[in-house]
Amino acid sequence: MKIIAIAAVGRNGVIGKGSELPWNIPEDMKFFRESTRGQVVIMGRKTYDSLGKALPARRNAVITRNSSWSVPDAEVYSELSSALTALAPVAKGENKDLFVIGGAEIYALSLPFLDEVWLTEIDAEFDGDVFFPLYREGRFEAPGFARASVREQTDSSSPFRYRFCVYQSHSSK
C-alpha cells in the first residue's frame, strides 16, 4: 500500500480556477480515472463539492473542519491524520493504494505522509487561484522527493504538451 498524491499542474503551479480545471486534457482524465479506480481517494470538502458527488468505483473519504457536514456516499473525517489512520489498514488489507486528490490544502497537509506524487505537468501557464504546494517554475521541489520517471505525452485531443511524472519519497524506497 502506498499513499500517493495525484494532480495535473500548469507550469506556474496552477491546479484550478475556482472549482474548475483551467484545461481540458482527455488523456489526463483517463489516466486519473484508471489510476484511482478501485482504490481509496481522499479529498477536501471543496474538492468533493466541485465534483458534486463521490467518485464511482472508489472508496471516498472527505476531510472537513465542519463537524456537522456529512454526505451519504463518502466517509467524513475532521483531519487528514485520522483518515489515514482509519483507511491505511483497510487499503493495505485489500491491496489498494490511498490517493490524495486535492485540493491544495489537503495536498500540503499530505506531503509528510506521501510515498509518491504523480503529476501531469502541463507545459503552459494558466490563470488560476489554486496552486499545487511546492511547485515552482515547472518543477516540484518538495524536500525528500526525487523524480523517478517521466513519460512525455502528446495527443491530438489537446493543444497542450504535457508529461506524466512520478516523484518518489526518499523515505519510501
Q: Is pLDDT above 60 for 173?
A: no
Give me the mean pLDDT over the 96-122 stretch: 97
Confidence of residue 28 (pLDDT cuts 50, 70, 90): very high
- Spatial distance between the Cα atoms of 1 and 59, rounded to a whole number of angstroms: 15
pLDDT (tens digit, 9 = 90+) per residue, 33-83?
A: 999 999 999 999 999 999 999 999 999 999 999 999 999 999 999 999 999
Domain spans in the chain, listed from the N-terminal domain onward: 3-140
Mean pLDDT of the chain: 94
Q: Is pLDDT above 90 for 156?
A: no
Give the pLDDT of residue 151. 87
- Spatial distance between the Cα atoms of 161 and 18, rounded to a whole number of angstroms: 23
CATH 3.30.70.1400 matches 3-140: no
Helix (H) or strand (E) holding 88: helix 80-93
Q: Is pLDDT above 80 for 115?
A: yes
Report which of residues 155 and 104 the model is more confident about. 104
